[in-house]
Amino acid sequence: MTARKSGFIVGAVAGAGVACAALAGMGMRMGTADAAQAPVVRASTATAPTFAPPPGAPMSFADIFEKVSPAVVQINVTSKAKAPSLRIPGLEGFDIVPRGQRRPGQPGQEQQDEDGDTPATPKQQSAGSGFFISADGYIVTNNHVVAEADDIQVVLKDGRELKATLVGRDEGTDLAVIKVVDPKAKGKDFTFVNFENQAKPRVGDWVITIGNPFGLGGTATAGIISAYDRNLNDNTSSFVPYIQIDAPINRGNSGGPSFDIYGRVIGVNSAIYSPTGGSVGIGFAIPAEVAEGVAKQLIANGKVVRGYIGVSILDFSAEMAEALGLTDVKGAIVADVVPGQPAAKAGLLPDDILVAVNGVKIADRSELTREVSKARPGETIKMSIIRDGKPRVVNVTSGTRPSESSLAATGDDQGQDGATPTPDKPASQKVDALGLTLAPIDAAARQTYKIEPEIKGLLIIGVKGDSDAGEKGLAKGDVLANINGAPVVSAGDVSAAVEAAKKAGRTSVLVKVIRQNRSVFVPLKIAP
């Protein structure tokens, strides 16, 4: 399991996998106490009271485990170990590589040891979980389990160790499909499970997981569905409305299935929330309907194709809506439009508020991304937007979404600058109502703060610490680009917008701020 980006979210296994399937129509019920014949407490004059589970509680999960566990496998992965490097403060641009190892990508002949032999590439091993979804050997697991794999082996419940190969993987959902190709396999006789997309357990219903925590294969744990539609604030949450469960899952459980009490797969274990790296009772599974759709595409094409329009978006929060007088509006707001991409060609603009896709209302940017991704390249996507306070529709021809790693690489291109000289202070003006001191953007400021020539607005050169702007993180070097959708040319524009908001009875304004050439929207309270 690998560390997640935010908080303490980590993959549910250190080298684990994603697995999700279901025994559709198994119709297997667990034994329960009869309400009439087995009360919660039976009193007896001769013995102490006896506890009995209430109606609806399973007496045991053993029947489920016996039926479905043969479909769950342990996945052992061998991959190249990454060469260690040392970083010395002040030499951040250089890797100090231990003797006998070649810096990755370094040209020239392979290095040799003193005997003239080429040193063997170090290997590392990791393990996860997975499960069969077909009799002929297709297995679902997590992408992070097999992403770097040079060799994949699966261990079945009966102890057989079989070679498998990668069919396809999807960074967007952290799902992957592998297939048994070992000649020792006995034909097409693998026990498999099916995804269950019709019956959806309620919050509070039982769930059982099976997997390979800490290398302890064939381990069953049980708990309940804790919540639906969880967002982990990482690069998978745009496509995955996670199921939260409290059944204990740990490193090695990734890729294993979650079952309901009828033995139907309702999720693929993928991540845990933990400050320690071990289970604290908060785990996350990829819903079966998501996993099934991805698995089918991977088996058919080896990859997942998603729609794409080319915009940078942010959640349109309640504070933003209040600042613009749109209190009943939910959705996402366009921060930037990628030049040359479908949204730009169709006429979408920064500051547009996106409220529906193909007639489906969206509440935030994750829902927007999911709806757009459903489109096939070349299809027309009907985008319902609000621009300048008025609703309108923009038809966008969908493109093909690049890989998540490509998008991340593009987005992470802007880094923190080191210490730089302070530019000569340009003429400035305070806007006391917002706690800001603003100045024109001159050449020195553009060089110091790496502000691109096409960016217009006013430079923030001072922020009052106890103002709403200060508490929300606005800082010297940010660019104030517009306020309530209107471009900012002078401090007078800002003051005028504040006064207009006051006259309209609003207590805040929505400002667009550009930092390191990225746009964000911040609702700012107006000081009395």
Helix (H), strand (E) at residue 431: strand 429-431
Q: How far is residue 215's CA from residue 211's CA, in Å, rounded to a whole number?
A: 9
Is the domain covering 61-79+122-304 a CATH 2.40.10.120 domain? Answer: yes
Whole-number Å distance between alpha carbons of 209 and 528: 56
Cα distance between residue 30 and residue 261, in whole Å: 7
pLDDT values of the chain reduced to their tens digit, one per residue, 528 residues: 443 433 434 444 433 333 333 323 333 222 323 333 333 333 444 555 555 555 666 778 888 899 999 999 999 999 887 644 333 333 333 333 333 344 343 434 444 444 445 555 678 888 999 999 999 999 999 999 998 889 999 999 999 999 999 999 999 899 999 999 988 876 678 999 999 887 788 999 999 999 999 888 889 999 999 999 998 876 666 889 999 999 999 889 999 999 988 888 999 999 888 777 778 889 999 999 999 999 999 999 999 999 999 998 999 989 999 999 998 899 999 988 988 899 999 999 999 999 999 999 999 898 999 899 999 999 999 999 999 999 999 999 999 988 776 676 554 332 223 233 333 344 567 888 899 988 888 877 887 888 888 888 999 988 988 899 989 999 989 999 999 989 888 888 898 889 888 888 999 999 999 988 888 999 999 988
H/E element, 460: strand 458-463
DSSP-derived pairing of the beta strands 436-440 and 458-463? antiparallel
Q: Is the Cα dihedral 187, 188, 189, 190 positive or negative?
A: positive
Query: CATH 2.40.10.120 residue ranges in the chain?
Result: 61-79+122-304
- What is the CATH T-level fold of the domain 307-405, as seen in this structure? Pdz3 Domain (2.30.42)
Report phi then psi at 514, rounded to 5. -115, 125
* Of 59, 56, 74, 61, nearest in space to 263 by CA: 61
CB 77 within 8 A of CB 2: no
252 is in an annotated binding site: yes
Q: Which residues contact 354 (CB under 8 A, 6 or more apart)?
A: 313, 316, 331, 332, 333, 334, 362, 368, 383, 384, 385
Mapping DSSP onto H, E and C, the string for 260-275 reads CCCCCEEEEEEEEECC
| Residue ranges of the chain assigned to CATH 2.30.42.10 | 307-405, 429-525
Paired residues of 513 in beta bridges: 480, 520
Q: What angle do CA 185, 193, 79 make, to 5 degrees?
A: 55
Angstrom distance (rounded) from CA 48 to CA 167: 59
Residues recognised as catalytic? 144, 174, 254
Q: Is 253 annotated as a binding residue?
A: yes
Q: Would you tell me how many other CB atoms lie within 10 Å of the CB of residue 144?
A: 30
**328 belongs to an annotated ligand binding site:** no
DSSP secondary structure, 316-362, as one string:
E-HHHHHHTT-TT--EEEEEEE-TTSHHHHHT--TT-EEEEETTEE-
Strands 518-525 and 508-515 turn out to be antiparallel
Alpha carbon distances (Å) from 360 to 357, 363, 367, 370: 5, 10, 10, 11
**Chain centroid offset of residue 445 CA:** 36
Q: How far is CA 528 from CA 451, 470, 507, 525, in A?
A: 33, 16, 9, 9
Distances, alpha carbon 47 to alpha carbons 34, 41, 256, 311, 368, in Å:
21, 12, 44, 71, 62
C-alpha count within 13 angstroms, C-beta hemisphere, residue 316: 28
Can you say how many angstroms the Cα of residue 152 is from the centroid of all Cα atoms in its chain? 25
Is 467 annotated for ligand binding? Answer: no
429-525 maps to CATH 2.30.42.10: yes
Q: Is 384 among the annotated ligand-binding positions? A: no
Tokens at residue 240, please? 């995955």
Match 């009875």 to its residue by tokens.
505
Residue (of 375, 22, 18, 19) closest to 198 by Cα position: 22
